[in-house]
Structure 1
Amino acid sequence: MAAGESGGIFRTADAGNSWIPVADELPNLAVEDIQFKPGNPSIVFAGAGDDNLYISQDAGTTWTVRAIVRDTACGDGRCDQDNQSGQVDRIRIDPTNPNNMYVVRQSTFSGLGVYKSTDAGLTWSKVLGPNLKDGTASQNDLAMDVKHPQELYAVLSNRGIFKTVDGGANWSQLGPSNGLPQTVAEGAVAVAPTSPGNSRFVYVAIKDSSGTSGFYFSSDGTSWTLQCGSSNQTLCVQDPRGQIFFCCFGDHDGAIVVDPKKEDVVYFTNFNRLYKSTDRGLHLTSIPQHHDDQQSFAIQLLEPATNRMLWAGNDGGLEKVLLVNPDSMPAQSDWMEINRLPVTQFYDLAVAPRNPNLVFGATQDNGVSRYGGTLNWDNLGRCGDATGVVIDPVIPSIVYARCWNGFDESLDGGNTWRWASSGLDQTDLQWKAQTGVFPRAANTLYAGGQRVYKSHREPSGLTWTPISGSLQPPYQLTAVASSWTNENRVYAAFGWPGSGYGAYMFRTLDGGATPWLSITSPDPGEFISSIAVDPADDRILYVTTGALSAAWKPRVHLWKTNDATAQVVAWSSVGSCGVCVGGFLPDARYNDIAISPINHNRVVVVHDVVNGVGGVYETLDGGASWAPAGDLSTLPNTSISGVALECGVDITVSTYGRSMWRLPSSNPDVDTDGDGFSDCAEQYMGTNVTLACPVTSVADDEAIDAWPPDFNDDTFVDITDVNRMAAQRFGAMRGDPDYNPRYDLNADGFIDITDMSTVQSRFGQTCR
């Protein structure tokens, strides 16, 4: 089994060639640890966020919540507040008495530590950790000596290293008298399961409060010796990328794993490296994989007894390698990438307006990915973390995305990329800020930091020009959007995501020729995550906020104004939802918003997980009432990060941890009347999606126009229809006074030679 950091649990029965999600309905999919019950592999435990401990009693096929790991009794002063939520991790089970279980709770908040259960995980009490008012304990680790299961070792970040010999009843802190540092910023610990004789082979990796790192070994669990670390790294580290000992994790997970049958062989994973030692840590060799940023590691014993399968989880996914000797050092080319786990963390997405099978996604640490109609996505290999991906609305072969060094662009649909940030001040760009795009012109984007910039195309490439001064320093741009018909009408929001303050809004009606005007923000207390402008009326705005409400003060997250050009902008909350709890949209962080270009009263919003469910909601009446978009129980319970409405019908969403999803009931390729034009295109053109032939032969009877190329409703495509098409102004675009969508036969927003070719290809045909 494997788990995604925010994607839930997956099960394989064929050594990783195929995987099945088995826990999408669980309340929190941020699973950090999975452990089988000793002696009974049918029972499996998993630790997750929001203090959840899960259990499966059928070898991982189905799962339920076992318990909420929290100690509120406060009998010994180590109590937990109700609003202190943590991550359940490092599940350790006594092999001699499986009712005795231990876990750690990870968090940046105080009051966390080591917890114990004596009833197989049903109830828990804290046995080690600071009390409510005493410091922090974030990245914790826990190891059990399976030969002596009453002996456990714990690393509490910012606290120290602790040992118990009586199952957690009493703990002693290990320090300088044991050969270890007094203070520990972060670290990891492991006990060899096959220590010889009465010895206890224990390994510890530590970064102390001064930043000095070291890898330590003990043969008795009491006295430690520094094996390799910052002080001697040039002698003990073998790494072609530099002889540097990296420890430990920062905000990433890591671990020490000892070979189950050979106690001298040890692996150490951390954010930057996967190390291996065959001499108890005296020498550490970096084992390269296809991706850095290590997250998890496991060893699978195989037959014959010398064989091992190494499994490594990192920000690039899951990899495995077969060793025929436990001392072997695998090369990067030996690793096999497992590409069947849909756990990509997408920040946002872009869908081609006239090709729903072309989708680009900006990912966490995997650059830009491309969907071409099959589940075999293309990793385009551009930058690490990417965000703000946009398809050019006029030239769809051009794709833009933000990387660590600003914007990049591809002119060939994502195959090759180049830097595209000339003129753009990149020093204060807000990560995950919305990228604005003008729908009627190529190469016209809006972005920025303390100022708003607009792009245009020069012979040398994409060039950016500031169209504002520093509007609200030191706050940075979080959202920006332009009118659909006037590129000089732009709305922008500034703030610091998650800071609890910000949300300053500004507008320009003349492209920045005169100073921008500060306008009223709908929620001055929190940042604005996205802005959407009504395609038909650029005075109408919708905004979403990324506020996280306090329990005592529920917050509105979706707002609308009918006149953003007024001297004083009036906002109204538009979250009424008759089927929602409390009659209002869920109280969560809202991430994105999309408006249909066909039915401007149709709006879709998405939000983070709340009450175990990520949300996709839509309105068909301009925000007066909302309802779930489809059956949300068919979506995994993870955060929805982005939404697109291509052709105004089909909903596609990106998730942060479970790839992308599409609502099947709104397939834009459906052709109900079988006339060769999709329902989506016919809705755009204003023809009837259920009639292949007109009911009457009344010319220009718009109420019953049926077959799109038959403009005069006489059931034939003939010279009359060709002449009507020829009378249109070629080059007319959506928003122009002389643009008539009835003649835009491919619904691309333009009347051009492609539409005339469609009429000519049907010449002489009849709908009957």
Structure 2
Amino acid sequence: MMRQRQRRRFITCTVVAAAFGLIGTQSFAASGGSGPRPWNARHQADIGRQHTAAVHAGKGMSALTASGSGDDGSDEAENSAEGTAQYTEARTAPGVVAPGAYGAAWAQLQSMPHTGGNWDHITQKVYDSDDPRYRDINSNSSGGFGDVTGRITGIAADDQGYVYAGGANGGVFRSRTGGGHWEPIADKLPSLSTGALALDGSQRLWYATGESNTGATSFVGTGVYVLADPRHGQFQPGGRVGGAELESTVIHALRFAGTKVWAATSRGVWSHSTTTLSGPWKLEFAPNPEYLPGGSKAGDESAPYKNIANDIAVDPKDPSKVLLAVGWRGGDTYNGLYSQQGDGSWKPTTGLGDLPTDSDDVGNMTFGAAADGSRLYAVDQSPAQTNTNPDSGLKGVYVSKSGSPFGPWTQIADYTKLKASGSALQGAGYMPGIQSWYNQFLQVDPANADHVYLGLEEVFETKNGGTNWITPGPYWNFPFPCWSIDPSKQTGDCSPTTHSDQHAVAVGTYKGKTYAYVGNDGGIYRRPLNGAVDSGGHAKDWQSLNDGTLDTLQYYSVGVGKDLDHGGVSVTGGLQDNGQSILRGHDKVMGSNFGGDGGDTITDPANGCDIANEYVYLDMWVTQNCGANSGSWVNDPAKATEYEVAPPDKDLGGAGARFTAPITSDAKDTNTWVAGGRHVWVQTKGFAIRSGAEWKNAYDLGDGHVATAVASSGGTVYVGWCGPCNNQGFSRGIAVGNADGTGWHQLGLPVDGTIPNRYISGFDVDPANAQHVYVAVNGFSRKWTEGPGAGVGHIFESKDGGATWADISANLPDVPADSAKLLPNGGLALSTDLAVFYRPAGARQWQILGKNLPTTATLQLRLGPDGALYAATHGRGIWSFDPRRLKGRDD
């Protein structure tokens, strides 16, 4: 039996949490993928109790978040739902955000001046999740994923070796070599969130913005863009198709039929001419139009769930015959399959054979058509099954052997059949399709209509139309006989696999060889379309295409410390579904020293190998050797190099802490740490801590309250909290006190006060005066937010310990703010969901800090011991800026 903390699952669950009304902002909140560790006996009881019912209730999300699961992160679906809701809450509470908020901020950004200096891209390097330097019990090294990057949600490929990959919040990248040597081609657009990528018959590249995966950090988009010459050009704002009709939506799929393109979006099904790109999109069908913007029920809290369309299937013999797959994956009465009647109206369609048509069983559905029109396949997630079956939400996989969307349809697989195909999920307490509301793709071999790739958590394949299946892309190699964490016991014949959680697929040709390309939470991979497999049906020929030039890594945090062994600095950070990365000194390859989801991070500036990593709900671990190999897998306590040091709130789940909870060390004493959950926890042993029992409860924030931000300087502690944290009854506050537990009090922050009634996302304290503090506020102002006390402003300053505050937002765009950092020159940096801004010392107006930082969310700023400012972006990796470049520019 492995020791206390096991390898953590990469699965990321999903739920739409609220705000389809934000352009480019998180409308689907996110989770980070917690879950059981299936091979350890200690967690078998937790695994058996997995239940996904609460995840999909839509309106029940708030209750789920408030109640908490009371576990340690092993109840995958419920924990992920909480993470999802919480990420969105920060940007939507206290109410509903009107469409256009992000677009207006982006437009203002275009006219703002930049400071001098450029940002340096730190993580544009290979990130090896199997790095043998960190094959410790708490990493996922040796799982077989190889080189990884952030979530890829769209892929297109042609027959000349050009491949296009879209990052979840990183934009579009192009490869001219069949994958690898990537270059960004969408960085001039206002949204870098990828919903779908597709090449049309003229080889134009269509980019639908707005990620549809309803994951923790999914952002809505600004519409659909076309690039006429994708092999050489770059997307431009002027290349948008139609007008603003598809702003503030997510787009699940683009389907072409004749001279028309269809779009399945979060606000119904739309169409547009493919020959004339100007003129508005036409709304073909919305099941509940009164919930659309401008409708009589547009302000209803359930509006985001009422017009979700997932895919479109067009009859290849008659483009006028179209089948729409519509419905919220959590279940609603409008869920179903719709077809157009003679009078132009759309009605539910039934009697298609095995393909479900009942509202209880039509959830997230994806179609896949054969190139010759002879076959049409579908994969369907059932809301009813998801809400009642702890094993899987997958209803089934189906084929229409006529190629017509109207069938007749025959079922060719369910989760039990796929389980027997060589799945790595056997015996895990859950089955293939446990996250089929999040993980889906279908791809038919262009040369063989019976050859199909299916993406769920794993990659499945059939070559005989579904009679038999194999699993060429298993979840990982850990359960298989060829694997052992102990290098001396490995057989050496475990083949590389893909990262888990599949989202995108395409077929392309390079130098005469045809490949299947798959995109998932770990990036993009390829294998020959008719590749080799071992005796278990697992592919022997996957190749990671994540060569470091494709940096779509989604960081929550960054930590920087001196590298005492190699010189320079060690940079580490917590990631969505890709653990904790570490880049030491002169490393040319990043490694992964912690697995699962990374959260917040504490790193000793004086020693970059002293690292505290957070998993979920304050489940903290500490290492003092960078997490390097020690042979700890042999269960010798003397060789342990990583220790679980979670404060007690960790055991309360969502009731005790946020999914990604705030942790920090004191700015003047690296041995004093503060962690925020329901309580404010303090420990004074620094990296020498070895047990969660060593934390002391400094302050109780109150029943239903949980920390959202913490800062400490010289023993003075500031804690931002929310509770309730969702739109219904949202409340926030700031508590101030001393690390020794004395002097604690709540600041008077009335709903109509200076500090808006929105999410407190970050503090920074003046090192010369702990009474001088800045606070960053998330969300949008009352111009866009229909909620009590939404107020205005995003950055506030107090010179008296929080007794009074001044709004110093001045000319900042109205966009969610995430992190503030006072620079050594006296200037102030502020990171937002749009850019990093800078206000020189003594000035009032803000500028954009530096040049060439991609337009994506920057969630955290940290100063390194080298004097550089480090930015953790959630879609384009970690970047740094030297504030010394600002000398002489403070006027």
**TM-score, structure 2 normalization:** 0.64
1:33 is displaced (CA, Å) by 1.5
1:503 is displaced (CA, Å) by 2.2
Bigger relative contact order, structure 1 or 2, given CA contacts below 8 A and separation 6+?
2
What is the one-letter code of the residue matched to 1:604?
A
Is the contact between residue 575 and residue 581 of structure 2 (CA under 8 Å) also seen in structure 1? yes
Counterpart in the other structure of 1:34: 197
| Structure 1 position 424 matched with structure 2 position 651 | no
Is the contact between residue 171 and residue 192 of structure 2 (CA under 8 Å) also seen in structure 1? yes
Counterpart in the other structure of 2:761: 529
Is the contact between residue 202 and residue 218 of structure 1 (CA under 8 Å) also seen in structure 2? yes
**Larger Rg over CA atoms:** 1
1:130 is displaced (CA, Å) by 1.7
1: distance between equivalents of 2:881 and 2:342?
A: 51
2: distance between equivalents of 1:461 and 1:15?
A: 48
2: distance between equivalents of 1:28 and 1:375?
A: 32
Is the contact between residue 595 and residue 645 of structure 1 (CA under 8 Å) also seen in structure 2? no
Counterpart in the other structure of 1:572: 806
Q: Bigger shift: 185-194 or 131-140?
A: 131-140
1:59 is displaced (CA, Å) by 2.2
Is the contact between residue 152 and residue 168 of structure 1 (CA under 8 Å) also seen in structure 2? no
Is the contact between residue 698 and residue 739 of structure 2 (CA under 8 Å) also seen in structure 1? no
1: distance between equivalents of 2:864 and 2:689?
A: 31
Is the contact between residue 662 and residue 675 of structure 2 (CA under 8 Å) also seen in structure 1? yes
Q: Deviations 1:84-139 (Å, cap 9, x if unpaired)?
A: 72023422223xx4x3211111x3xxx42343436444331011222333662336
Is the contact between residue 359 and residue 371 of structure 1 (CA under 8 Å) also seen in structure 2? yes
Rate the CA distance shift 1:667–1:382 in 2: closer, same or farther, 3 A.
farther
- Where 1:617 maps in the other structure, the secondary structure is strand
What is the one-letter code of the residue matched to 1:55?
V
Seq. identity, %: 21
Is the contact between residue 44 and residue 59 of structure 1 (CA under 8 Å) also seen in structure 2? yes
Counterpart in the other structure of 1:217: 399
What is the one-letter code of the residue matched to 1:239?
S
2: distance between equivalents of 1:618 and 1:234?
A: 53
Is the contact between residue 494 and residue 503 of structure 1 (CA under 8 Å) also seen in structure 2? yes
- Where 1:425 maps in the other structure, the secondary structure is helix
From 297, 300, 310, give the equivalent of 1:140: 310
1: distance between equivalents of 2:883 and 2:255?
A: 45
Structure 1 residues 189-588: aligned runs within 5 Å:
189-196=367-374, 200-211=375-386, 213-220=395-402, 221=404, 222-230=407-415, 233=417, 237-242=421-426, 246-247=432-433, 252=438, 254-270=440-456, 272-286=457-471, 287-288=473-474, 289-301=497-509, 308-324=514-530, 331=538, 333-339=540-546, 340=548, 341-352=550-561, 357-372=569-584, 376-404=588-616, 406-415=619-628, 418-426=642-650, 427=652, 428-457=656-685, 461=690, 463=692, 464-483=694-713, 486-487=714-715, 489-495=716-722, 499=727, 501-509=730-738, 511-513=740-742, 516-521=744-749, 522-523=754-755, 525-552=757-784, 555-564=792-801, 569-576=803-810, 584-588=811-815
Q: Bigger shift: 634-643 or 526-535?
A: 634-643
Counterpart in the other structure of 1:21: 184
Counterpart in the other structure of 1:55: 226
1:550 is displaced (CA, Å) by 4.3
Is the contact between residue 682 and residue 698 of structure 2 (CA under 8 Å) also seen in structure 1? no
Q: Deviations 1:524-567 (Å, cap 9, x if unpaired)?
A: 511211111110001111000112234356621111110117xx
Q: Bigger shift: 413-422 or 534-543?
A: 413-422
Is the contact between residue 394 and residue 439 of structure 1 (CA under 8 Å) also seen in structure 2? no
Rate the CA distance shift 1:67–1:541 in 2: closer, same or farther, 3 A.
same
Rate the CA distance shift 1:45–1:245 in 2: closer, same or farther, 3 A.
same
2: distance between equivalents of 1:21 and 1:302?
A: 20
1:423 is displaced (CA, Å) by 4.5
- Where 2:453 maps in the other structure, the secondary structure is strand
- Where 1:209 maps in the other structure, the secondary structure is helix
Counterpart in the other structure of 2:137: none
Is the contact between residue 389 and residue 402 of structure 1 (CA under 8 Å) also seen in structure 2? yes
1:317 is displaced (CA, Å) by 1.1
Counterpart in the other structure of 2:300: none
Is the contact between residue 441 and residue 502 of structure 2 (CA under 8 Å) also seen in structure 1? no
Is the contact between residue 663 and residue 674 of structure 2 (CA under 8 Å) also seen in structure 1? yes
| Structure 1 position 103 matched with structure 2 position 321 | no
Q: Deviations 1:349-370 (Å, cap 9, x if unpaired)?
A: 1223797642112111111112
Paired residues in the alignment total 621
| Structure 1 position 115 matched with structure 2 position 271 | yes
1:498 is displaced (CA, Å) by 5.8
Is the contact between residue 524 and residue 544 of structure 2 (CA under 8 Å) also seen in structure 1? yes
Rate the CA distance shift 1:575–1:479 in 2: closer, same or farther, 3 A.
same
Is the contact between residue 594 and residue 627 of structure 2 (CA under 8 Å) also seen in structure 1? no
1:236 is displaced (CA, Å) by 5.9
Structure 1 residues 602-617: aligned runs within 5 Å:
602-608=827-833, 614-617=834-837
Is the contact between residue 533 and residue 540 of structure 2 (CA under 8 Å) also seen in structure 1? no
Rate the CA distance shift 1:148–1:237 in 2: closer, same or farther, 3 A.
farther
- Structure 2 residue runs without a partner (length 5+): 1-163, 211-220, 292-304, 329-333, 387-392, 475-496, 630-640, 786-790
2: distance between equivalents of 1:68 and 1:472?
A: 50
What is the one-letter code of the residue matched to 1:630?
G
2: distance between equivalents of 1:392 and 1:216?
A: 54
Is the contact between residue 5 and residue 657 of structure 1 (CA under 8 Å) also seen in structure 2? yes
1: distance between equivalents of 2:336 and 2:463?
A: 25
1:267 is displaced (CA, Å) by 1.6
1:150 is displaced (CA, Å) by 3.8
2: distance between equivalents of 1:144 and 1:475?
A: 50
What is the one-letter code of the residue matched to 2:768?
A
2: distance between equivalents of 1:120 and 1:469?
A: 63
Query: How large is the RMSD of aligned CA atoms in angstroms?
Result: 3.3
Counterpart in the other structure of 1:639: 857
Counterpart in the other structure of 1:593: 820
What is the one-letter code of the residue matched to 2:308?
S
1:667 is displaced (CA, Å) by 6.6
Rate the CA distance shift 1:460–1:400 in 2: closer, same or farther, 3 A.
closer
Q: Hey, which of these two has a bigger chunk of helix by percent?
A: 2
Rate the CA distance shift 1:178–1:166 in 2: closer, same or farther, 3 A.
same
Is the contact between residue 583 and residue 591 of structure 2 (CA under 8 Å) also seen in structure 1? no
What is the one-letter code of the residue matched to 2:799?
N
1:265 is displaced (CA, Å) by 1.4
- Where 2:557 maps in the other structure, the secondary structure is strand
- Where 1:133 maps in the other structure, the secondary structure is helix
Is the contact between residue 206 and residue 215 of structure 1 (CA under 8 Å) also seen in structure 2? no
**TM-score, structure 1 normalization:** 0.74
- Structure 1 residue runs without a partner (length 5+): 73-79, 577-583, 609-613, 669-678, 681-768
2: distance between equivalents of 1:168 and 1:14?
A: 50
1: distance between equivalents of 2:290 and 2:606?
A: 58
1:465 is displaced (CA, Å) by 1.9
1:160 is displaced (CA, Å) by 4.2
What is the one-letter code of the residue matched to 1:131?
N
Counterpart in the other structure of 1:738: none
Rate the CA distance shift 1:628–1:481 in 2: closer, same or farther, 3 A.
same
